[in-house]
């Protein structure tokens, strides 16, 4: 039972069922005692009638007169009572006809007890003293036994119903009780590095759930402050590095233009210029990300046909893939219009395609597919490389995240996919990574809302 909801339902159903079972057991014993007490009262009432029929001179009566006086009463009540009158000196003086001459059971030392007779069944027997007589009266317990069995059967049926009802109620109550926890989890899952402003709603009820929500909101406040400081630092450092990097590049180019360096020195300066270009590109990428996350970039969105964009772009992509010794399949399906800025989407596709080229083996196939799915324009780029595991696919769009095969040269900044995500988000879309269609390789997919669409011809 890993689910809290399951555990709450189980313990609720168990406690409710056990409580009801205990009440039924207690009720069973109380009912049994109550009915037994009523049988004892019936025996007492019958004894009083017998005593009244015998009269005050009962001690001097002979067996014939005793039989004559009480036979009518006992015959009338033969369905309810079994009666026997004994005398210490003369033995049995009277037995009701329903006893068929058999004596009632006797338990030494007890005046009221349960007994069993063959052919009759269980009896509730009471012995009364009328010196010099002993009067024994028995009342059948069969009806009481059947009533108790019926009570037990009804109790078991109700217990079964209680189990089913308590499970249903427990599931409903647990869902209701855990709703604030689910809302907290859903909100916390939406709060990421690109969405730090959202907070968990705190109810007016001052309970443990509200306290947890407030603590989590305080933690998110601290995280947002830390992220903002890091972003501000990155933006400021990136901006401040632009000028010294430009000066260093100018001096290096001046050394080359003077022509006073040896071949080895020229090679070293060329390497420095190459590395300066990489650093300068990284600075530009960090500045872009900082501005994008601060909502400082506005896209010049133009509603246009992405099919024309893909057709124009295919020639450049095919030339690039063939130059790298890879194969390209490019598809576009559907018709419609999408609001996007061409140069930024071109950068997104080129960034993803460059990663696919680096990951694909020689002569590997790269598939670029464009289509309208639902109310969105969907673009996917799939390669035949080693792919990424689920955790790597989840983190692929974080800054400075690189997954290079062992021994492969790492020349990237680790910011390309982070920039792609920012560009797609600025187009009100989303981007994600998933396994290739054959289970191998990697497929990068981004979707942008369509203005108008028609899925296929």
Q: What is the pLDDT of residues 208-232, one digit of tens each?
A: 888 888 888 888 888 878 777 766 7
Query: What pLDDT does 252 receive?
Result: 80
pTM of the model: 0.50
CA gap 36, 364 in Å, rounded? 92
Domains and CATH numbers, the chain: 4-147 (3.30.450), 208-293 (1.10.287.130), 302-454 (3.30.565.10)
Residue 346 burial (10 A CB sphere; 0-12, 13-18, 19+): middle
β 376-382/442-454 pair status: antiparallel
DSSP 294-336: TT------EEE-HHHHHHHHHHHHHHHHHHTT-EEEEEEE-EE
* Backbone dihedral angles phi then psi of residue 397, each to the nearest 5 degrees: -100, 10
| pLDDT of 57 over the 80 cut | no
Which position has the higher pLDDT, 289 or 162? Answer: 162
CA dihedral 233, 237, 239, 244 (to 10 degrees): 170
Overall residue count recorded for the chain in this entry: 457
Give the start-end residues of each E strand in 78-155: 82-87, 91-95, 112-117, 121-130, 133-140
Across the chain, mean pLDDT equals: 84
DSSP, collapsed to helix, strand or coil, labels residue 399 as: coil
Does an H or E element contain 162, and which?
A: helix 142-190
pLDDT digits (tens, 9 = 90+) for 121-153: 999 999 998 888 889 999 999 889 999 999 999
Give the start-end residues of each E strand in 207-360: 302-304, 327-333, 335-340
Q: Which of 24, 32, 40 is nearest to 147 (CA)?
A: 32
DSSP, collapsed to helix, strand or coil, labels residue 137 as: strand
Q: How far is CA 63 from CA 48, 57, 101, 234, in A?
A: 19, 13, 15, 121
Mean pLDDT of 337-357: 90
Q: How confident is the model at residue 245 (pLDDT cuts 50, 70, 90)?
A: confident
Please report, rounded to a whole number, the percentage of residues in the chain having pLDDT higher than 90: 28
Q: How confident is the model at residue 28 (pLDDT cuts 50, 70, 90)?
A: very high
CA gap 280, 346 in Å, rounded? 21
> 435 forms bridges with which residues in the sheet?
442
DSSP, collapsed to helix, strand or coil, labels residue 1 as: coil
CA gap 418, 423 in Å, rounded? 9
């Amino acid at each position: 039972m890993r689910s809290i909801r399951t555990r709450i339902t189980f313990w609720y159903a168990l406690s409710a069922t056990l409580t009801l079972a205990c009440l039924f057991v207690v009720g069973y014993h109380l009912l049994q005692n109550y009915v037994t007490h009523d049988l004892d009262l019936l025996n007492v009432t019958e004894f009083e009638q017998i005593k009244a029929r015998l009269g005050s001179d009962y001690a001097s009566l002979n067996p014939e007169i005793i039989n004559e006086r009480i036979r009518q009463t006992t015959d009338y009540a033969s369905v309810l009572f079994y009666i026997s009158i004994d005398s210490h000196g003369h033995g049995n003086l009277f037995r009701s006809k329903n006893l068929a001459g058999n004596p009632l059971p006797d338990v030494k030392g007890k005046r009221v007890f349960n007994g069993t007779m063959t052919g009759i069944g269980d009896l509730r027997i009471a012995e009364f003293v009328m010196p010099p007589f002993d009067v024994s009266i028995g009342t059948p317990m069969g009806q009481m036994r059947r009533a108790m069995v019926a009570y037990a059967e009804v109790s078991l049926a109700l217990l079964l119903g209680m189990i089913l009802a308590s499970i249903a109620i427990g599931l409903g109550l647990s869902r209701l009780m855990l709703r604030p926890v689910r809302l907290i989890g859903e909100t916390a899952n939406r709060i990421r590095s690109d969405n730090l402003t959202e907070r968990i709603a705190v109810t007016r009820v001052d309970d443990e759930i509200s306290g947890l929500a407030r603590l989590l909101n305080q933690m998110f406040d601290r995280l947002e402050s830390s992220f903002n400081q890091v972003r501000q630092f990155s933006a400021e450092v990136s901006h401040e590095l632009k000028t010294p990097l430009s000066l260093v590049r100018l001096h290096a180019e001046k050394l080359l233009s003077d022509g006073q360096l040896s071949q080895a020195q020229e090679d070293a300066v060329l390497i420095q210029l190459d590395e300066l270009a990489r650093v300068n590109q990284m600075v530009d990428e960090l500045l872009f990300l900082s501005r994008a996350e601060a909502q400082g970039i506005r896209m010049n969105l133009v509603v246009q046909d992405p099919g024309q964009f893909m057709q124009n772009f295919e020639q450049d992509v095919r030339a690039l893939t063939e130059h790298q010794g890879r194969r390209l399949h490019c598809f576009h399906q559907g018709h419609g219009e999408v609001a996007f800025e061409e140069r930024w989407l071109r950068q997104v596709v080129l960034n993803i395609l460059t990663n696919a080229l680096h990951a694909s083996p020689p002569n590997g196939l790269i598939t670029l597919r464009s289509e309208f799915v639902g109310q969105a324009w969907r673009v996917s780029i799939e390669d035949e490389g080693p792919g990424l595991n689920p955790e790597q696919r989840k983190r692929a769009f974080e800054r400075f995240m690189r997954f290079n095969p062992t021994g492969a040269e790492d020349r990237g900044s680790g910011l390309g996919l982070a920039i792609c995500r920012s560009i797609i988000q600025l187009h009100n879309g989303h981007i994600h990574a998933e396994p290739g269609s054959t289970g191998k390789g990697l497929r990068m997919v981004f979707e942008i809302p369509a203005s108008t669409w028609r899925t296929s011809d």
